Chains A and B, each alone.
Chain A
Amino acid sequence: MLTINQYVKAESLQQAYELNQKKNNVILGGMLWLKMQKKSVGTAIDLSDLGLDKIEETEDSYLLGAMVTLRSLELHKGLNSMTNNAVAESLKHIVGIQFRNLATVGGSIFGRYGFSDVLTLLMALNAQVELYQKGIVSIEEFSKMPYDNDLLVRVIIKKQEMKVAYLSQRNTKTDFPVLTCAISNMEGTYRCVIGARPKRAVCLYDNNDILKDGITPESAEKFGEYIKSQIITGSNMRASEEYRKVLSGVLTKRALLKLKDCEVTSYAD
């Protein structure tokens, strides 16, 4: 059971950061995963009053505040238009609308959960993470960093032409995914992100130029085999290591074929 001794609505990022340096204090995201834990929290730090619940648009980027809900992200027209609706596809299978109205981008990303659809997607979009202390780092780098007491302020997604496809496999609707797969093509670079391995998501590249002449049923098959041979998976109650390996090849192939049919939509839409 989760107990909380004190609740503080932070008045500034500095105050939130300082409070977060104490070991038994915690930043509240949507509180959904936190609530499942057996934990005694000293001070729960709420970022709700810091204006981080909005998706802002600048000339070259979308800025997702840490407190943006997954539902707001799912419904965002500009981001869905830029990503061939991969944003909505990655989020709509997460529990239900009521859950996604609470769960936040910051909570999902900072946790770097092995089961995360959101982390998988944002890594394929080559997003960046703005941390209060460390500044801006790529989400790929962030995904490998150990947990610390820094503060995730926002996620930055650069506006650019891209093709993206997202797929996940679930044993049953609304459950955690057994495996997630997001593939993007930005300026000719393919990023293949496999998540729910069940370890943290990992990004693989086309190092052997399998896709250099484009996506065909044959090259998609071959690239799927390549991912299957490279990916490190594990077992848990949902699936075995071997099953996940097989799935990684199948989802990669299917995502590539889906990507092939995607239109490049203007990010200015």
Chain B
Amino acid sequence: MRTDVSSPLVAAGDAVSSWASSVLAAWGPGADALYLATSEAGAREALAFWAAARATGFALAAPGAFPYTLANAPAGRIGTALGIRGPSVTLLGTFGDALAAATDDLADGLCTRPLVVHLDPVTPALTVTPAPTPWRLTHTVLTPTSLECYPSAPSATVVAGALER
């Protein structure tokens, strides 16, 4: 399959994942699974990809940009950057949804040390025109002892400056 890494859409799609990976790098070592919840990941990319495809004609749509239209694109990039080979789970929802799924799977033995993340823009996409947007990243790492304090597992939140589109 062709991928076009020079596409501006690809670069834009990577900006959020790259920032998230840099934040999570300190938390990643030892994590054997990634649970990422989002409502917006892939949305701006899908809107932009489709708008560009209609403008240029489908035959000239940016091939490398399509994978970034998927909600699990950030989890794939983050997991690769952190070298996580266990479960990679993207949920469409809130940090609580990711926490619940990770806690269930931890209790069921699917993983032993999941990195739990919520990644979304500070303000949701309300327009078809992408614009630089700050993103919020909430994260924690669960261990088997965390099951004793669910759902109050401690977490940290980081907000990026507006990530350029």
Q: Judge: A and B partners, yes or no.
A: no
Q: Which residues of B contact A (CB under 8 A)?
A: none
Give residues in A with beta carbon < 8 Å to B: none
